[in-house]
Copies of this chain bind each other. A is one copy, B any other.
Amino acid sequence: MYDFEPESVKKFIEENEANKVAVQLPSGLRPYYSEIKKDYDEAGVKALFLTGSCFGACDIADREAETMECDALVHYGHADMGVPTSIPVLYVEAHMEAEPFDVLEKALPELRGSVWGLTTTVQHIDHLYEVKEVLSGEKIKSVIGDPGPRAKYPGQILGCDWGSARSVSGEVDGFIYIGTGEFHPVGIILATGKPVISINPLADDYERTNPELEKFMRKRWAVIAEAKSCQSFGVLVSVKGGQNRMSLAESLSEKLDKQGYDSCILVADDVNTEALRDFQIEAFVNTACPRLAISDEELFDGPVLTPFEAEVLIGDRDWEDYHLNGIGINFEI
Contact = CB atoms under 8 A, between A and B. Distances in A.
B265 A49 contact: yes
Given A49-B279, A279-B30, A279-B31, A69 B267 contact: no
B68 A34 contact: no
A69 B246 contact: yes
Interface stretch (A142-150, A187-195, A270-278, A298-306): A270-278
A250 interface: yes
B246 A64 contact: no
Interface string A33-49: 11001000000001111
One complex includes copies of this chain to the number of 2
Interface string A318-332: 000000000000000
Contacts of A246: 68-69
A49 B52 CA distance: 21
Contact of A250 (B46, B265, B267, B269): B46
Interface string A257-289: 000001011111101100110111100000000
A51 interface: yes
B31 A278 contact: yes
Interface residues of A, number: 43
A9 interface: no
A27 B274 CA distance: 10
A320 B333 CA distance: 59
A31 B52 CA distance: 27
A18 to B, nearest CB: 15
Given A239-B64, A264-B33, A265-B46, A271 B51 contact: yes
A123 interface: no
29 contacts: A28-B278, A33-B281, A34-B262, A46-B250, A47-B265, A48-B237, A48-B265, A48-B266, A49-B234, A49-B265, A49-B266, A49-B267, A51-B266, A51-B268, A51-B271, A51-B276, A51-B279, A52-B267, A52-B268, A53-B275, A63-B63, A63-B67, A64-B267, A64-B269, A67-B239, A67-B244, A68-B246, A68-B267, A69-B246
